[in-house]
Amino acid sequence: MTTLKNPRMRRGLGLLAGTAALALALVGCSGGDDAEPVPERDLGTPVAGEIEEGALAGASLTFAGSGGVFQDGQTEALWDPFAEASGAAFTQDAFDAGKLKAMVDAGNVSWDIVNTTQFDTARGCGTLYEEYDYDQIDTSKIPEGTITDKCMVPQILYGLVVVYNTDAFGDDPPTSAADFFDTEKYPGKRTVSQSTYVDPQTVEFALTAQGKDVAELSVDDIEGAFDMYRGLGDDVIGWTTGAQAQQQLEAGEAVMGLVWSGRGYGAAAAGAPVAPMWDEWMIMVDSNGIPKGVKDKQAAFAAVNYSLGAEQQAKMTELTSYGGVNVDAEPEMDELLTEWMTTEHLDTGISPNVDFWVENYDALAAAWAGWATGS
């Protein structure tokens, strides 16, 4: 297995009809009962970013991530240094939610750590994902409130952010979610996700524009959010991948976009006249998840603990443009990256209502399917 070079893609919570069955066929049905027992080790008190030299010699771990520059940066900043320090062999693969389920169902899990979202680990905690033993993880430097279920350790902080064209609106930029939907004051095309990935923050953004508090949502609110986007009529265009969203902004196809912060930064770094709106942006957190039935849980915990070090997180941010999860991390950032870094603007971000979306996922998925298919 090697690191894939595909553009960053989202995972989990997608419309996965058929993929689980296909993945099951690829995984096979053999169990892991013949595997050698994992040795017990004394790794001592965990300190984020540290592992005793050679402590995991002979162990093998695989990380399944999102691909592209993001996974390449994680590999260089987190996993390769961990392998060198611990002595563990460490390989890379591409995450697929259907394949994960097939692995778990078959009792033949070959991934040890996966890059997924806080919604995925919350929905699959105990069934698809192992609960963490937080005695084996140093969580003292993790931003408050970012551990949202027992099967996750945060991996990055990023956001769903309004990105606007500064040539069009530089003198009077949008400053609220409501402005995104005001095509009289801010005329022009808007690009919004219509990917197969079910994104609760897209719904929460529209409801914020209505003046609703995302901490007090009801199922009836969901369709109302999509009606907001449909109400944009011909002024709304869809993106199905982050790369497409970035291209639409770079090409000027849209004067505003509701996009992942890293994609907005990518457009700006490529020279597009775009800027982020930090009022009422939606906070997003990715999880490090441990698949249910992982063969060497202790080694997986140790790798995650190592990845949380300030030095590791700083380097990861420098390589990927995504915000780290160690409050002591001090990445070297130029003026442009600083402008786009979510961790510099947490005071104006809106945290998602994770519990609501886990409880009402089916209603969300059904409404999203209608939106994504244009019905």
Q: How far apart are CA 90 and CA 60, in angstroms?
A: 6
Write the CA distances from 252 to 83, 168, 249, 261, 329, integer angstroms: 43, 10, 5, 17, 35
Q: What is the DSSP letter of 90?
A: E
Report which secondary-structure segment, H or E, holds 284. strand 274-289
What digits encode the pLDDT tens for the residues 61-116?
A: 999 998 878 899 999 999 999 999 999 999 999 999 999 999 999 999 999 999 99
Q: C-alpha 44: how far from its chain's center?
A: 30
Q: In this predicted structure, what is the pLDDT of residue 35?
A: 62
Sign, CA torsion 39/43/48/53: negative
Q: In this predicted structure, what is the pLDDT of residue 170?
A: 87
Q: In this predicted structure, what is the pLDDT of residue 12?
A: 47
Q: List, run by run, the mean pLDDT of 10-residue segments along the chain (375 residues).
A: 36 44 45 64 95 96 90 96 98 95 96 96 97 97 94 96 96 97 98 92 98 96 96 96 94 97 93 97 96 97 98 95 94 95 93 96 95 87
* Residues 139-178: b if buried by 16+ CB within 10 A, e if exposed: bebbbeebbbbebbbbbbbbbbbbbbbeebbeeebbeebe
